[in-house]
Amino acid sequence: MKLKGFFALLTILLLCVGTLPVQAYGGHSISRAEIDSFTLTDQDGEDWSLEENSKPINVVSFIFTACPDVCPVLTQNLKAVQESLPEGLENEVLFISISVDPARDTPETLREYMDLHGVEWPHLTGDNATLEDIWNAFGVVVQRDVIDSHAEAREGEHHHHEDEDMGFDEPKLYFGIENNSMQELDYSPNGWTMFNLVAEDANWTFNYSTSQYGNMVSEINGYESPEDWSWWWSLKIWNESSTEWEDSPVGIDGVDASENRSIAWVASNANSSLLEEPNEEGIQVQVIYPDNATANHVKTNFTAYDLTYTSFSNSEINFTAPMTQYGHYLESADDLQGPSDYSWWWRLAVWNESGNLWEESQVGMDDLLEPGNIAWTPSYIELENITKPGENLEQEEDCDGHGWVMGQGSGMHCMCDEGYESPEDNRLSCISIESEDEYFVGHSTLTYILSEDLKPMIVWTGDDWSPEDFISDLEEFGTSEGIIESEDRIIPFLGASSIIALMGASAFMLSRKGKIF
């Protein structure tokens, strides 16, 4: 071939290469060997094989159920991804979550975690040796001491049927209508608020009267107690020590729902022996009607609506939160009602501990599960002007006794003594540097996208990615694998300057052909 023809062909090839379609992922594109198939135990106690269940696209995440922060966020993100898969991918993507805490994550515990978050993809556990091989294959680093500290914190003071899972004694509701002026409302769930929430969840109807002695139920689901008191609604509570139902020594308002998670209304002329032993999950109300018919309902999830209802009720703040086909929405609070023209509305904000800031909730209060600190404010208040949790509250001891407070308002922070520092999520605290591990996640948070032959192709780190970006990667990968069709996207491989330089070099070489030959 003549030199001129050779360089002309080279130039054409370079231009073609410069317009080859390539993939651009939001996650990190990786190149690793295939993952060996494995068999673990799923949430139902059954053997589960990756080889037998894999799909053209496989999404693998790692969690542990005692994780207080990252894992719930990760699970909800993946739930949003699964529910929004585009046409053509609905049945082509497998989701699985693998435990990094097999000592505690039994199949039963994993099932409870799945039910809590409303997901159905396989959650897997197994023996430690098998899981360690899987962790190593995926490059997941597990910090056992940190996982243990999280689990011990959850099993500590509140041990009444997993109070933490239902949110008792943990979350706070902040409410205000002016900048930097918030009330921390009292959240102490009692029998009355518990009954109201369970009854609404079960679509029960009831009537009641209120007196100086509290609330008294007069009718449940059409069974109304007569004026002659030939029978009445008797309140009973479950005694865990004696494992028996007993007459409540206090009225419904005086029942501590964090201590008594099961109550019963029994017609005084009915057979109380029909009451069943309470379910260990959630909060429960049983009813025995005067004809000995029964009703029984367990509420297993804890939402921002539950926190809102309980906190407003206990603080005697008038509010309305109508139920619509999209769930509850806050219509008015403290007699301040959002205008019909929506020039402003009641906005739900959630506290981001790691970022130390308020963020607008991306879901309604019924879909915000296991809420931490939340705030209700009119939408015209900027998020940065919402009082931070504890900011205007007296500290029991400045900087935990290991420093002194500097600054005011949102700028308040601790100047910690030598050997102590403030954790990222609480600048008004000082902890020993040696105990810093308590604030780590417990394991490297990695979520993989694998091909059909189980080769890791993309990895997302952390929990702060958006479902929309993750779905974009699934679409891009699905297109590249021929699973779904899409218009080719042409992304320059070589910049224009590089191509021009190569063309110039070709021209230069051609101008010297007489000397070459």
| Whole-Å CA distances, 193 to 147, 198, 216, 267, 507 | 34, 9, 13, 21, 84
Beta bridge partners of 57: 93
CB atoms within 10 A of CB 360: 10
Cα 128 versus chain centre, distance: 26
Domain coordinates in residue numbering, the chain:
3-19+492-516, 28-143+441-480, 191-299, 398-439
CB-based contact 451:61 (threshold 8 Å): no
- Distance (Å, whole) CA 405 – CA 394: 12
Residue 395 has pLDDT above 70, yes or no: no
Instruction: Write b or e for each residue in 87-124: b if 16 or more Cβ atoms lie within 10 A of its Cβ, otherwise e.
Output: eebeebbbbbbbbbbbebbbbebbebbbebbebebbbb
Above pLDDT 70, what percent of the chain? 77
- Distance (Å, whole) CA 419 – CA 434: 8
* Of the ranges 10-14, 88-92, 203-207, the best mean pLDDT one: 203-207
Query: How confident is the model over 40-71, as pLDDT tens digits?
Result: 999 999 999 999 999 999 999 999 888 766 78
Beta bridge partners of 350: 359, 374
Kindly indicate the confidence band of residue 72, based on its pLDDT and cuts at 50, 70 and 90.
confident
Give 181-230 as a 3 state SS string.
EEEEECCCCEHHHHHHHHHHHHCCCEEEEEECCEEEEEEECCEECCCCCC
Please give the pLDDT value at position 277: 92
Residue 486 has pLDDT above 70, yes or no: no
CB-based contact 7:13 (threshold 8 Å): no
Please name the fold of domain 28-143+441-480.
Glutaredoxin (3.40.30)
